[in-house]
Structure 1
Amino acid sequence: MTDHPTKRLLNAPADIVTEALAGMIAAHPDLLALEGPTGRAVVAVDGPRDGKVGIVIGGGSGHEPAFAGYVGRGLADAAAVGNVFASPGPQQIMDAARAVEGGAGVLFLYGNYTGDVMNFDMAVEACAAEGIPARSLAVTDDVASAPRDRAGDRRGIAGDFFVFKIAGAAADAGRDLEECLAAARAANAATRTMGVALTPCAMPQTGQAHFTIAPDRMEIGMGIHGEPGMRSAPLGRADDLADELIETILEDLGARRNDRVAVLVNGLGATGQLELYILNRRIAQVLADRGITVHRTWVGEYCTSLDMAGASVTLMRLDDDLAALLDRPCRTVALTVGETPTPMARRRDRPARGPAPTEERKVQSRSTLATDGTVTPQVFRAMMRGAAQTISDQRDWLSQLDGVIGDGDHGITMEIGWTAITRVLDEAPADATITDLCDRMSTAFLDAVGASTGPLYASAFAAAGAAVADRLNLDGPAMAAWIRGMCDGIMSRGGAALGDKTMIDAWLPAADAASAHDADPGSALKAAANAAAGGRDRTAQMKSRRGRSAKLGARSLGHIDPGAASACLILGSMRQHLG
């Protein structure tokens, strides 16, 4: 962490994304518009049309000009925009999908991160429920994040640029949904990226750097969310760095003499054009020496990491079809290729789709519910409000833990989610049952957060509420069942297991301990909180096997998991506010 916060031109931190999108739309009204009730779907004014596959891209903010910068004619039809370094939620994604669906289906494209995968998968399920054909593809271009035999585990970083361009061109050319997906897959298979960070970045909400990079060191193989790299190395000459990056990419790609490639030299937010062109000079030399033809080159900021200094290099090996799609005209804020056709009015032979009708919330008959137990719905509300306050108080600590092995946003996303919970607790009817409150909390958390935390805790609250659906008040066994429901919901949605270095390493011991000490709610919560603390501490000795920190391998040792830490805070606060 730095001694002094990074200076920012901000108003309220909670309004960062909303205000930035408003400014973007004001600057480019001929290209972009916001559609949908979430206010997070950036849609091309000239692009979506009947009979064309809708291309929807998306991801967290902080990577500008990605993702909204690639919305426009010939590229993406819409982008779903998440919070800083956090995936958009399913509702935000669905706003984008409904806005661009023209009868030929929707293709979702995003980087291969746990939160994005979960949220876009939920959007595919929602599309199916609404009768919208939908497919999805996670971009996996980062060679540093997994070996070639586990290419499907790789992160999506600046290679998004090429995959989005190819898919958008295929859709604009009139190809059907399966053909657009095939083109995107071909682009992804032909694209490799590797990057280096010279300085860490700082989350706008905290102004603090996630981790420290010594003045004479650099992080090789970092992601685009402020994560540390795969390894630390001495800072050397630009040519030597370029050689390492390009040689690693070429070897992994299996590039040969007479191949054609497209090149992207990408700045991460705080590296100037002078340095990027120096890198490109060397890359061009290496490719020429190897007899590899450069078809096109882009140098600049195309997929950033807030204010991180550093750069990434991306190659896409081209065949005739990929080259033709790459050259096909497009017009967006961040990328223009060729002369785009005269803008056309958006045609619709039918009204635009609105959100699917929401299911009427089931009202429980209180007369049929068990009333024994000291945890009434009013006490439960107080426990949840206490947990929300604790998460808010510990936000920066949780983000600091996450910054060492992840992207530094866990405390921020948890605070956003729990703030939304506080609002629904205030708005819920006075006679709402605990199950009803849990259902409302589930929806609020998912809509507010997205990221991986959103689906996980949304599933947790829904399952916990279902586990006590026969109760008005909670006794000891019911309190234990609620905790078990939280754990089961997280496990069913995320698939993590004990020992993966995730929040499950706190929630599962907590659930087991509560079940064994369920004489009353206080005993169950005390046992759960203590067991969760033990599980949290054990994560320091684990290598991460899930989420962004899984890419760090042994570098994740010695650090507790932030998700396990927040689980401890929730359970501890619930016990404290039991009354």
Structure 2
Amino acid sequence: MSIKTKKLINAPENIIPEFIEGLIAAYPDMLCVEGSTGRAVVAQQGPRDGKVGIVIGGGSGHEPAFAGYVGQGLADAAAVGNVFASPSPEQILDAGRAADGGAGVVFLYGNYTGDVLNFTMAAEELEAEGTPVRQIAVADDVASAPFERRHERRGVAGDFFVFKCAGAAADLGEPLQRVEELARLANDRCRSMGVALGACSLPQTGTPNFEIGAADMEIGMGLHGEPGMRREPLAPADAVTDVLMEPILRELGLNDGDRVAVLVNGLGATTQLELFLVFRRVKQILDQRSIHIHANWVGEYATSLEMAGASVTLLKLDDALTRLLDHPCRTPALTVGAAAERPVDAQRSVRKTRAIKDVVVLDRATLATGGRITPPAFLAMMRAVSVAIRAQKDWLSQLDGVIGDGDHGVTMDIGWTAVGHVLDAQPRDAVIAQTCEQMAQAFLTAVGASSGPLYAGAFRSAAAAVNTRLNLDSAALAAWIAGMNNGILARGGAKPGDKTMIDAWAPAAEAAAIAAQAGGDERAVLQAACDAAKTGMDDTAGIESRRGRSAKLGLRSIGHIDPGAASAYLTLRAMHEALLGLE
């Protein structure tokens, strides 16, 4: 029986809006909310005309990151995602528009697939509106990839230093290119390593993300509760700190007389007593090497809900970074020096809002009507998927907890629940392609994370594949399934064998096409797709992960089914069962 954790929350689905409401109420002189999504936390004394805008963001559960670093002299706005899930493009756009002072905007976020996908989509749209955008994915975790593949590393507590330096550069009036250069310099000179002693639990599930023995520790864990690079017996604080510091020192190449900034970060359930023991040992190691600590912070700065553990981050300083680190700022989570008063003549122009996109209307008279899957049947099939995903969300999250961050079932349920609301508002005879377009937007806006852009791309590609059809026959159904697969491929870049949802969608698309070409009806096409997706899902257990958060686990990912492939199979199975039920 799974152990249930206890949290002081109301309804889990309201936790983020209520968190933001409480944060703004606590710091009304520093923060406000702007934009229609309600997820863009903006500095009262931040954005101004002529200044480069600094936008940070990511999933919730890491408090005080990310909204806690919004304020004068640091970030102008933060896009707040669901727990352990990237904010959606719409939420990021609200933050980007709020931060835009006419000099360009810099997006800063951790190097995770969901964040990269969603921030990139938002950047594309903001640039289309005329705002120059630069992006930097923080990648400081030495445990997550070897040095020669450091562009694949995830961002952990190093966000703290990169955000601080970028915010100071913008506050000092540096132009966009220079702000980007300095932020990249901080990213290049920052290294982190962490240890987990216990798991965290998502508010929606109330169960630990992973299991760890009472006498064990995870070396190199991720900030979302992902398992680390290896599991070892728990050791004394000094020995653990030595393990964390060794790769950091090796990579930074620190010499006598060098200066560093140090962050000893608690992950949510680690006491100050323990954190200062770690810092004590960090200082001993640096003193032995005649390396000077210019500045240090010890406490909770980038947490993982209630995870027990800590991380150590070092930033190798030069004169430019030292100046930025020392520059005053005032935010809920960090105050450095005395922040200067906002210039009396500082102006903040009214920001542009998003233009309403034209809705493409299809001429129903030109659409092909042959086929068993009518618009009402399609709506019923999609509703069945929503119900199936909700019923299996705990299983999907359990699968994800073993090799990821444990939220796949939660995010898929959020997305399909949003889709369900769209379906409820659709006329029974709504054109299938247009329904898919609305499903795409609903999923993207509700979820963020990696699943948001991937399934939005899938629905849009599937819509394009059947936009000449009113009803779907077997060939059109196979084209729809292929469209789903192609949309995910185009946006995500994964390929079969990478241990992702593609390992279920790709064989399903191939099997559906073969069944349709052989003269099978719609039921036979879906049966073939289901069988192939089930086989593909099962086969992922024998694959080493090469994409996403689980790619950091290497061989440790073998033996576990990919949760994305599992949700793909559930989707096709629910569609098939619903179609059979309509007979």
TM-score by length of 2: 0.98
Check the 8 A contact 1:88/1:450 in 2, yes or no.
yes
1:211-290 aligned at under 5 Å gives the runs: 211-290=210-289
Match for residue 118 of structure 1?
117
Residue 556, structure 1, aligned to residue 557, structure 2: yes
Check the 8 A contact 2:110/2:138 in 1, yes or no.
yes
Compared with structure 1, are the counterparts of its residues 190 and 364 closer, same or farther at alpha carbon in structure 2 (3 Å cutoff)? same
Match for residue 487 of structure 2?
489
Runs of 4+ more than 3 Å apart? 343-350
- Give the Å deviation of 1:514: 0.3
> Secondary structure at 2:198's aligned position in 1?
coil
Q: Give the counterpart of 2:370 among 348, 355, 372.
A: 372
1:63-74 aligned at under 5 Å gives the runs: 63-74=62-73
Q: Which amino acid aligns with 2:329?
A: C
Q: Residue deviations 1:381-411, cap 9 Å, x none? A: 0000000000000000000000000000000
> Secondary structure at 1:466's aligned position in 2?
helix
Q: Which amino acid aligns with 1:390?
A: A
Q: Residue deviations 1:527-560, cap 9 Å, x none? A: 0000000000000000000000000000000000
- Give the Å deviation of 1:349: 6.4
- Give the Å deviation of 1:342: 2.2
Check the 8 A contact 1:46/1:346 in 2, yes or no.
no
Check the 8 A contact 1:438/1:465 in 2, yes or no.
yes
Match for residue 539 of structure 1?
540
- Give the Å deviation of 1:246: 1.1
Match for residue 453 of structure 1?
451
How high is the sequence identity, in percent, across the aligned residues?
A: 62
Q: Give the counterpart of 1:419 among 411, 417, 428.
A: 417
- Give the Å deviation of 1:350: 4.0
Match for residue 428 of structure 1?
426
- Give the Å deviation of 1:343: 4.2
Q: Residue deviations 1:450-472, cap 9 Å, x none? A: 00000000000000011000100
Structure 2: unaligned runs, 5 residues or longer: none
Mapped partners of 2:461, 2:201: distance in 1? 35
> Secondary structure at 2:574's aligned position in 1?
helix
Mapped partners of 1:111, 1:266: distance in 2? 16
Check the 8 A contact 2:49/2:349 in 1, yes or no.
no
Match for residue 129 of structure 1?
128
- Give the Å deviation of 1:492: 0.4
> Secondary structure at 2:2's aligned position in 1?
coil
Aligned residue pairs: how many?
Answer: 577
Match for residue 387 of structure 2?
389
1:173-184 aligned at under 5 Å gives the runs: 173-184=172-183
> Secondary structure at 1:198's aligned position in 2?
strand
Residue 26, structure 1, aligned to residue 28, structure 2: no
Match for residue 444 of structure 1?
442
TM-score by length of 1: 0.99
Mapped partners of 1:312, 1:163: distance in 2? 16
Check the 8 A contact 1:506/1:533 in 2, yes or no.
yes
- Give the Å deviation of 1:346: 8.9
Structure 1: unaligned runs, 5 residues or longer: none
Match for residue 478 of structure 2?
480
- Give the Å deviation of 1:482: 0.3
Q: Residue deviations 1:170-218, cap 9 Å, x none? A: 0000001100000000000110000000001111100001111100000
Check the 8 A contact 1:44/1:72 in 2, yes or no.
yes
Mapped partners of 1:511, 1:358: distance in 2? 34
> Secondary structure at 1:144's aligned position in 2?
coil
Mapped partners of 1:262, 1:439: distance in 2? 48
Mapped partners of 1:113, 1:465: distance in 2? 28
Q: Residue deviations 1:263-289, cap 9 Å, x none? A: 000000000101000100011011000
> Secondary structure at 1:564's aligned position in 2?
helix
Match for residue 185 of structure 1?
184
Q: What is the root-mean-square deviation of aligned Cα atoms in Å? A: 1.0
Residue 321, structure 1, aligned to residue 323, structure 2: no
Q: Residue deviations 1:248-272, cap 9 Å, x none? A: 2100111111110000000000001
Mapped partners of 1:478, 1:345: distance in 2? 63
1:277-316 aligned at under 5 Å gives the runs: 277-316=276-315
Match for residue 502 of structure 2?
504
> Secondary structure at 1:42's aligned position in 2?
strand
Check the 8 A contact 2:192/2:312 in 1, yes or no.
yes
